[in-house]
């Protein structure tokens, strides 16, 4: 079972928030965030602000329930993560399509020639300067 600090770290990763940004929001030192993760500082003084950020305090302290609170911020975080997951899936699909197109022999040759043309133009431009 994860500790509160490990769950807290997981929350920060899931909402893509740096320790520095959170420290600014909580009006504490960045080192304090690290100490929270390591179990050296208690979360209670920051509980309301963490809840306002969308963190479920039940999940943080006990591991029970969902990571995100049943408040507006929690719903926003869930929706944001869902959208990011959709975009990542779409990016993977587009990358696959691009790799398929670029792997066609005629395009490989054209890309190679284009790359050489660009290198030659850059060399000539340096010579001119």
8-state DSSP, 64 = -
Domain ranges of the chain: 4-70, 75-128
Q: What is the CATH number of domain 4-70?
A: 1.10.260.40
Nearest to 10 by CA among 56, 71, 75, 79: 56
Range 60-74 burial, b when 16+ CB lie within 10 A, else e: beeeeeebbbeeebb
pLDDT in tens, 63-121: 999 999 888 877 887 887 777 778 888 899 998 988 887 777 776 677 777 777 787 77
d(CA 46, CA 70): 18
């Amino acid at each position: 079972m994860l500790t509160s600090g490990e769950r807290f770290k997981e929350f920060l990763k899931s909402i893509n928030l740096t320790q520095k940004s959170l420290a600014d929001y909580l009006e504490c030192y960045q080192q304090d965030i690290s100490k929270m993760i390591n179990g050296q500082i208690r979360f209670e003084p920051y509980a309301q602000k963490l809840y306002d950020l969308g963190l479920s305090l039940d999940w943080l302290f006990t591991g029970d329930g969902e990571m995100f609170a049943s408040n507006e911020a929690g719903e926003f975080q869930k929706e944001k993560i869902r959208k990011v997951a959709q975009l990542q899936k779409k990016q993977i699909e587009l990358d696959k399509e691009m790799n398929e197109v670029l792997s066609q022999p005629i395009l490989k040759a054209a890309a190679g020639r284009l790359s050489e043309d660009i290198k030659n133009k850059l060399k000539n431009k340096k010579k001119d300067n």
